[in-house]
A and B are shown apart, each in its own frame.
Chain A
Amino acid sequence: MTAEPRTLLDKVWDAHVMATRPDGQALLAIDRHLLHEGSFHAFGMLDHAGRAVRRPDLTFAVADHYVPSRDRGAPIPDPEIATMVSGLAGNAGRHGIRHFGLEDPGQGIVHVIAPEQGLTLPGLTVVCGDSHTSTHGAFGALGFGIGATEVAHVLATQALWQRRPKSLRVTIDGRLGPHVAAKDVVLAIIAALGAGGAVGHVLEYAGSAIRGLSMEGRLTICNMSIEAGARAGMIAPDDTTFAFLEGRPFAPRGDAFARAVAAWRALPTDDGARFDREVVLEAGAIAPTVTWGTSPETAVPVTAAVPDPSAEADGTKAGQMRAMLDYMGLAPGTPLEAVAIDRVFIGSCTNSRIEDLRAAAGVLRGRRAAVPGLVVPGSGPVRRQAEAEGLDAVFRDAGLEWGEPGCSMCVGINGDLVPAGERCASTTNRNFPGRQGPNARTHLMSPAMAAAAALTGRLTDIRRLGTP
């Protein structure tokens, strides 16, 4: 008798179920619990109940959301922000949790550093009080975001009650066109599924176009799974994955690594395994992409024009489009390439890895930006690598600012805000109203596209601009 074919999700899920309730909820074992400054609510709940952290050895804390992007040597001027950063250090210290603080060479954005340090491994469950925990699925892990009460629950029990999600496979075969990056692929996926299209599902990204991506590209794709409503996105581990992990500080070594790889090779979805839904996209049809509205689902090819709400038959939808255009300050029918921008931001857990910085620097090298901008590497190691390659000089020579690692202008809570009414070409993941600052306008795009926009001061098709 042969076993029923299973998906990657099935395999990771089944391996973590410790108990099942009559109502179908499973008690999942958690392999990695990542914390950032926002976990103060959860520590408060833990302390209030007088509970201890069950597995400090599986728990890792990093300061990223509130850390300053400049003047790291000086004290943080805003006392509330300083308290957020020092509060995490205090909570981690009290509970014996490894903490990547401001002075740590490994510090950076939580979803950048966990893969970089070898904390994220195939087949693991990874949780964090942050919706972009979906990023870690790039390794074939099941990574998902949780709320503060659930963070407190994981701190106390190293477990979480979950209902098995549905599965949705997105298959993309073929070759990506010139200058089409992982960011364009995931924006195209979100546009196809809708911002809530994958609610209740875990996405698996498959097909030759996905297999051909580097780990950086896969991380970008899985990162934005949440923007289609999926709590997690996964990509089957392969030789690209294993080569990335070997030798990383917290990854298994020597014989243990070989045993791990043997186990990881059994993780990919079996032939004939059934998904609840299947979506197929053609790699060659994906263009350099930008968003026009205040939801990532408003992603369109940069060659398109701002859509016209009066062409929308559904009155409610037309009204919602009008509200988005009003917020964004855009007129229907305007070619997107005619839209002038005020600044650029290159960074965030979506696009702040070395490959992203290389792509942006490749466009900017030897040229001057027409608008101001900020480039923030995802981690200390990325920052040092970029500096070793001279990328920081490329950005500075172009007139952009080179920052210290953290979330920065992605969410603006460290003080790096897009001023009200300004339009930002951004490599981040959310264009929600107010996301980069009250009344700030965000257009999402790839690092190369953001660099192209910086050069021209408009949304720009990177294919037209080319690289020198």
Chain B
Amino acid sequence: MQPFTTLRAVAVALDVANVDTDQILPARFLKKPRSAGYGGFLFHDERRRGDAFPLDRPGNAGAGILVADRNFGCGSSREGAVYALVDAGIRCVVAPSFGDIFASNAAKNGLLTITLPEDAAAALRARLGAEPGTVLTVDLPAETLTGPEGGAIPFPIDPFRKRCLVEGLDDVDLTLEHADAIAAYEAAVARDEPWRVPART
């Protein structure tokens, strides 16, 4: 995983609530191998419907940050939605709230999710909508988001999620430091609650 420290990138507003992972990555692309690259599938069908999709408007090329409305990434647990964003160059999504599974998938793939209050996110979207190509700076160690003329907005982040992003840690290795606790727990279940293990048929 690519470690995340600071990011300076064009930010794009997406004025839609409840953006689900089916929109981010339509289901028919789920069978593609990761090596194929998921960037071309990002918002595939949304980008081909009606007016120009925000990511495709002039000035927004090469965007690295999305600013969305509430409950971004709800729905299906497909991690491919995160692969599509990351492979298309998006390293950070800002929203008032996120689908829980999406946020967890994001952290495991170097995609930072920043939760801002509803009005702060709305103000940011309004600004980006009016001035395409606006560059924002994310400083993860300092936990701040900064616009073109300064004025750092602090954002909260789970300390472990931050550490995993900054250091690019492998979860399994960390968990295996607790191998003894897992083995002891499994032995206790086998001894005291054998019904928890399925009868094999």
Contact = CB atoms under 8 A, between A and B. Distances in A.
Partners in one complex: yes
B42 to A, nearest CB: 14
A19 B175 CA distance: 10
Nearest to A412: B27
A80 interface: yes
A433 B46 contact: yes
Interface in A308-323: 316-317, 319-320, 323
B79 A430 contact: no
A131 B18 contact: no
Contacts of B130: none
A149 B101 contact: no
Name the residue among A145, A256, A413, A434 with the largest chain B CB count within 10 angstroms: A434
Interface string B158-172: 111000000000011
B61 interface: no
B176 to A, nearest CB: 7
A119 B197 CA distance: 9
A184 interface: no
A51 B176 CA distance: 12
A148 B80 CA distance: 9
Contacts of B104: 146-147, 150
Given A38-B78, A150-B104, A195-B71, A251 B199 contact: yes
Interface residues of B, number: 60
In the complex, which range does the number of interface residues on chain A fall in? Answer: 35 or more
A51 B71 contact: no
Name the residue among B100, B109, B158 with the largest chain A CB count within 10 angstroms: B100
A295 interface: yes
B60 interface: no
Contact of A58 (B74, B100, B185, B197): B197
Contacts of B158: 23, 163
Given A18-B178, A81-B31, A58 B22 contact: no
A25 B185 contact: no
Interface string B105-125: 100110000000000001000
Contact of B199 (A51, A229, A252, A263): A252
B108 A257 contact: no
25 contacts: A19-B178, A27-B178, A27-B182, A38-B78, A57-B200, A58-B197, A80-B31, A147-B77, A147-B79, A147-B82, A161-B171, A196-B71, A196-B97, A196-B99, A229-B74, A263-B195, A297-B18, A316-B122, A413-B30, A430-B22, A432-B20, A432-B23, A433-B23, A433-B46, A438-B26
